[in-house]
Chain A
């Protein structure tokens, strides 16, 4: 029995072999291909890319396959790969106004320049299981609207003309955008670092926190100013060339949550914004992120900090699911040395307790009752 808890190399190797066997499952069923995962489990692939902070659908699909569909394990696999990649530069900020839009909705305007575009959404589907999917039937091709060319102004720009919404703001000239993955995190943090942390934060955790703000824990009266999903170009300034070159396009989901603000000594009453941006198509994550981003701006806007979602240290320290799962799951590693120390202490305290009990019994029952 004792030998069993001590693993040894052989046990580990055997465990890995069994894992590989279970991952593959019944050999008479064809293995799933990366192309199938990329094409047919696309939203899962997008989540892995987002929370691993690496835009690569094929690698994300590989991670999903290798992790047997365990999303956090897949995110971890991709992150551990990402961390070994050399950093050859930082791209220009992407311009989402220039996005090739596939979906774009605003809840604050009935219609707006650029229009409302539903795109591929679950929103108005009836959640009825579709037995037709059990067979590999024909699926009609989608009918994409004629792609609008040119700039589609973001809804924040529309309100900005009246000065009713806070502007994007300006960064000081010497501001260098931080990199969460290359510098130690420090609290309190700048918003750029905070948004990076939220962008890779766990979808479920941010969803719950965003939800809590809607239920009165730091209420911000949010409206979905706009959600847009589509392709944006990534540009990299190459010093040798003196101009930016295109690296290609990535799909992103952007959410701007517009929230009421009564004003403070520093700023007039106006609408403030919470911001969410994630790789691929993930409205839930982008919306939750923008709610939490807004809640975390409490200090900046002079609001009282009363709820978990407003607490930067609490939120950011616990939003990373790779860290969280590691520390929670490490409890299954052996701890017997420390447990031994505790066992020794409890035995000692127990002996003292029993000795006391005995002494009190000798003194008569009344004192025993009082002691209890």
Chain B
């Protein structure tokens, strides 16, 4: 019976015990060896709830070394509550250096976005994944979907996309848009907007995906071919915004819509806060920059 105050300091480096880390690293290595394949792993209970990024946290905890520089984003932003919470967790249990600058980070844990700045060799992007199975909403049974992957039986997914077109005139999947990896496995990119899909293709960075509740890890090694599913006559398209970022004037980036009042007033600003701040530091200005100086405090 150990009732003494259990301080965080008594936990192992990066929280997980070394045995668990080795188990997760084995799963990661297997995942890298078979890009896009979902490797089952014995996910642990973490001190944050399932759905809050326990898969990503376990992957990060297993690959983090004392010299790493960690960045954590949620919705593209470093200052969303959960990103703050996860960053603080690793500061506390691993005492690693943290940053908000994409280019300074060696490990970036993310939920729902890929940074706008192109990632380079030596960087690792860790995705938090809620439902790793791209076929899940078409077939709820794991026993079935595993068979479908084994047999490369992806007809159902194409039928789904086709039905979208038949009903709506275009594909109605806007995020978690399925991709095919190295011509073999269909993979869920996690619920990133499809805007980010092209960034995964031939990325110089290692991309790791952790799903804690569903107990799966998968990976895209650097320079992996990642193709968004589409049809010849309905090619894959990403979202386009009609206006630039209101703060930094950036175009061709993903924007958040910010409601300004209850009369329909709204502005569009960069979802990637680091990218936006960097541009403003470089002197770029959007149309509303002067009016909203405190946006990304």
A159 to B7: give the CA distance in the assembly, Å: 53
Query: Does B33 count as interface, using CB distance less than 8 angstroms?
Result: no
Stretch at the interface among A25-33, A74-82, A121-129, A132-140: A74-82
Query: Does A366 count as interface, using CB distance less than 8 angstroms?
Result: no
Whether A327 and B40, one on each chain, are in contact in the complex, defined by CB atoms closer than 8 angstroms, is: no
Q: Which residues from A are CB-within-8-Å of B80?
A: 6-7, 334
Query: Does B88 count as interface, using CB distance less than 8 angstroms?
Result: yes
As a 0/1 sequence over residues 261 to 282 of chain A, the CB contacts with chain B under 8 angstroms (1 = contact) are 0000000000000000000000
The list of the 3 closest CB pairs from A to B, nearest first, reads A330-B51, A326-B50, A7-B81
Which positions in B face A, CB cutoff 8 Å?
A: 1, 3, 6, 11, 15, 17, 40-47, 49-52, 54, 74-77, 79-82, 84-85, 88, 111-113, 130, 140-143, 168-169, 172, 174-176, 191-195, 213, 215, 239, 254-259, 271, 294-295, 297
Q: Which residue from chain B places its CB closest to the CB of A188 in the assembled complex?
A: B143
Given A325-B49, A327-B51, residue A6 in contact with residue B77 (CB < 8 A): yes
Residues 312-366 (chain A) with a chain B CB within 8 angstroms: 313, 317, 322-323, 325-331, 333-338, 340-345, 349, 352
Q: Which residues from B are CB-within-8-Å of A335?
A: 75, 112, 191
A109 to B155: give the CA distance in the assembly, Å: 57
Whether B239 and A344, one on each chain, are in contact in the complex, defined by CB atoms closer than 8 angstroms, is: yes
Q: Which residues from A are CB-within-8-Å of B85?
A: 12
Given A188-B143, A334-B74, A336-B256, residue A326 in contact with residue B52 (CB < 8 A): yes
Stretch at the interface among A92-100, A146-154, A176-184, A203-211: A176-184
Q: Say how far B7's CB is from chain A's closest CB, in angstroms.
A: 13
Q: How large is the interface on A (under 10, 10 to 19, 20 to 34, 35 or more residues)?
A: 35 or more
Among A12, A184, A328, A344, the residue within 8 A (CB) of B84 is A12
Q: Which residues from B are CB-within-8-Å of A84?
A: 11, 15, 17
Query: Does A236 count as interface, using CB distance less than 8 angstroms?
Result: no
Whether A338 and B191, one on each chain, are in contact in the complex, defined by CB atoms closer than 8 angstroms, is: yes
Q: Which residues from A are CB-within-8-Å of B79?
A: 6-8
Consensus secondary structure, chain A interface: helix
Q: Which residues from A are CB-within-8-Å of B43?
A: 184
Whether A186 and B141, one on each chain, are in contact in the complex, defined by CB atoms closer than 8 angstroms, is: no
Whether B50 and A344, one on each chain, are in contact in the complex, defined by CB atoms closer than 8 angstroms, is: no
Given A188-B143, A352-B169, residue A337 in contact with residue B42 (CB < 8 A): no
A334 to B88: give the CA distance in the assembly, Å: 18
Q: Which residue from chain B places its CB closest to the CB of A328 in the assembled complex?
A: B51
Name 17 A/B residue pairs within 8 A (Cβ), A-sorted. Answer: A2-B258, A6-B77, A7-B79, A7-B84, A12-B85, A59-B3, A80-B45, A84-B11, A84-B17, A86-B17, A185-B40, A187-B142, A333-B81, A334-B82, A341-B193, A341-B194, A341-B239
Given A327-B213, A337-B271, A352-B169, residue A8 in contact with residue B40 (CB < 8 A): no
A161 to B195: give the CA distance in the assembly, Å: 69
A304 to B176: give the CA distance in the assembly, Å: 36
Q: Which residues from A are CB-within-8-Å of B193?
A: 337-338, 340-341
As a 0/1 sequence over residues 180 to 222 of chain A, the CB contacts with chain B under 8 angstroms (1 = contact) are 0111111110000000000000000000000000000000000
Q: Which residues from A are CB-within-8-Å of B81?
A: 6-8, 11-12, 333-334
A340 to B79: give the CA distance in the assembly, Å: 19
Whether A313 and B50, one on each chain, are in contact in the complex, defined by CB atoms closer than 8 angstroms, is: no
Whether B213 and A333, one on each chain, are in contact in the complex, defined by CB atoms closer than 8 angstroms, is: no
Whether B84 and A83, one on each chain, are in contact in the complex, defined by CB atoms closer than 8 angstroms, is: no
Q: Which residues from B are CB-within-8-Å of A323?
A: 50, 213
Residues 52-92 (chain A) with a chain B CB within 8 angstroms: 56, 58-59, 62, 76, 79-84, 86
